Amino acid sequence: MTPTPEERLAVALARLILDPAAPPARHIAVGAASPIPAAACWLVKRAGHPVRLSLLHREEANPFTEGTCELFDLTAQGRIDLFFLGGGQIDGTANINLLGTGEWPTAGTKFGGVRFPGSFGSAFMYMMTPRTILFREEHSPRVLVPRVDWISAPGVSPPDVFRRGTAQALLTGRCVFRFDPARARFALDQVHPGETVASVRAATGFDFDVPDTVAETPAPTDEELALLRGPVAAEMRATYPGFCARVWGAA
Amino acid sequence: MFIPLDDLAARIQDGALVALPPDNSLTPSALARALVRRGVRGLRLVGVPVSGYATDLLIGAGCVAELDTSAVTLGEAGAAPRFLAALAAGEIVLRDATCPAMHTRLQAAEKGVPFIPMRGVLGSDLLAHRPDWTVIDNPFSPTKDPILLLPALAPDVGIFHAVMADDEGNVWVGRRRELATLAHASKRVLVTAERRFAGNLLADETLAPGVISGTYVEAVALAPRGTWPIGLLDEYPADAAHLLAYARAARTREGFAAYLAEHVASPVAAAAE
């Protein structure tokens, strides 16, 4: 079976979720507009790993019976182990920008900037969740910048600021970076098929470390692809109809 | 308790601070269309906790002066085009927030306290652009522990759609309890409902936990398919094709005007509601 790019990314995310070196992810939450992270979570669950999934936008059997504020209350108490965030811009210290570029985004686009949708829960979730996996499919110098124009949520905080965790890793369409919060710096971990250290370097606006050996991101197995196309697709169709039709065709 | 939809819209004054849920909750799309027809001006909208189709529609129709929200998006249909255009033209004032801050500020109003602390946010540029938010040192901590303080938020009017409403003004929203917080925090609550429930919703032990008490509700208008083109819980799905068509049309002022003429202003569309 030949994996689609989305399936490769979902499988790479699933492996980051299951990373034995990271604290266990017993309860994972998935926010708005995150079909690939949602697919990765369902893949982990349908592969038989004991994990509780709370998908904010799921209609059927949504676990939040106290409203959408319950996700944030759970996270505030430390009951959510892992969350996913992206960014219109992400920089080398793992700051994320969901606000926009150019003049302060409230000034609008007339100054040559681009307005992104807004920060959603990032300013809170990034700091209150023990593990965050950063995910952005587009890997280009305009997204991965030396310094974000505006910080929706900071990658690292001073020692006296209460914070449970930060980025574990950053997955893009080209590679996997690991994040070292002590040094506030990314290191290249895996490159996807067709990519090299040089091609990643050329597409990345921030500086990062490169270890002696950089592995190729392992391809999805036939078992993983069968799970994605069967039970995972079935779980996701109601919430992400457009995504599922594009990746897996009509139901 | 039950009044016509356009009468419900008439109860929302120009310049009111109006809070509403986004497209994954019980968004009051039919009421937003009625507000456009009524020609309301200067609304200060609050996204609970983000904003979607109804907000973009009201902005495009010139009904909005200010927006306090954590994001504006049409979901799978993409960016909110009239929001972006109004922002670029300087036609609206935007106050950027983060989702839990919206809920937490409403919870403070619900409890009748003037402010409330919340974790996170320190180090975000949101803070520098919110003169109404402040940071204090936790007075109960033996060590330095800076924490954000948020002012309570009591909207002039809370608006949302409900699945059922009874003659006592009790409305059923199921598990969307963020709407209960919104109702408790708002000075006035105006609700559209999919259908009338014959009897008292609070008399049924199974239904009661999903009910917002009529204590909080000023008036209800029946609006079948009232969230359309947004979906309504397990009642009907979102009209994805319509949302895509809206996102396309609303890219230009002309396209948006044509959309309003076809789907908002015409007597046929109004009568269907």
Q: How many domains does chain A have?
A: 1
- Give the span between the Cα atoms of A187 and A210, in whole angstroms: 6
Q: Is the pLDDT of residue A190 over 90?
A: yes
Q: Write out the H or E segment, with its range, that includes residue B74.
A: none
- Give the span between the Cα atoms of B147 and B145, in whole angstroms: 6
- Give the span between the Cα atoms of B110 and B161, in whole angstroms: 20
Model confidence at A107, pLDDT cuts 50, 70, 90, reads low
CB contact under 8 A, B119 and A241: no
Q: According to DSSP H, which parts of chain B are helical?
A: 5-10, 29-38, 53-60, 81-88, 99-111, 178-185, 240-249, 253-260, 267-272
Residue A98 CB-density burial (10 A; 0-12 exposed, 13-18 middle, 19+ buried): buried
- Give the span between the Cα atoms of B125 and A167, in whole angstroms: 19
- Give the chain B residue nearest A60 (alpha carbons): B234
Q: What is the pLDDT of residue A229?
A: 96
Structure tokens at B48: 């609970």
Domain extent for A148: 5-248
Q: Which of B145, B177, B240 sits opposite A162 (nearest CB)?
A: B145
pLDDT, tens digit, 9 for 90 and up, residues A194-248: 999 999 999 999 999 999 999 999 999 999 999 999 999 999 988 888 899 999 9
| Residue (of B108, B103, B96, B64) closest to B83 by Cα position | B64
- CATH number listed for the domain at residues B6-98+153-267: 3.40.1080.10
Q: Which of B50, B119, B240 sits opposite A242 (nearest CB)?
A: B240
Chain B residues near residue A118 by CB distance under 8 angstroms: 50, 69-73, 96
Model confidence at B268, pLDDT cuts 50, 70, 90, reads very low
Q: What is the pLDDT of residue B271?
A: 44
User: How many residue pairs bridge chain A and chain B with CB atoms within 8 Å of each other?
Assistant: 165
- Report yes or no: A67 at the B interface, CB cutoff 8 Å: yes
More confident position, B71 or A237: B71
Q: What is the pLDDT of residue B81?
A: 97
- In this predicted complex, what is the ipTM? 0.94
- Give the span between the Cα atoms of A127 and B98, in whole angstroms: 13
Question: Within 13 Å and on the Cβ side, how many CA atoms surround B268?
Answer: 4
Chain B residues near residue A68 by CB distance under 8 angstroms: 24-25, 49, 99, 103, 176, 178
- Give the span between the Cα atoms of B50 and B68, in whole angstroms: 9
Residue type, B194: E
pLDDT, tens digit, 9 for 90 and up, residues B8-37: 999 999 999 999 999 988 999 999 999 999
Chain B residues near residue A243 by CB distance under 8 angstroms: 76
- Report yes or no: A159 at the B interface, CB cutoff 8 Å: no
Q: Is the pLDDT of residue B272 over 60?
A: no
- Give the span between the Cα atoms of A43 and A232, in whole angstroms: 6
CB contact under 8 A, A106 and B147: no
All CATH 3.40.1080.10 domain ranges in chain B, comma separated: 6-98+153-267
- Give the chain B residue nearest A149 (alpha carbons): B125
pLDDT, tens digit, 9 for 90 and up, residues B89-122: 999 999 999 999 999 999 999 999 999 999 999 9
A64 and A56 in contact (C-beta within 8 Å)?
yes
CB contact under 8 A, B98 and A240: no
Q: Write out the H or E segment, with its range, that includes residue B90.
A: none
- Report yes or no: B35 at the A interface, CB cutoff 8 Å: no
CATH number assigned to the domain comprising residue A157 = 3.40.1080.10
CB contact under 8 A, B178 and A68: yes
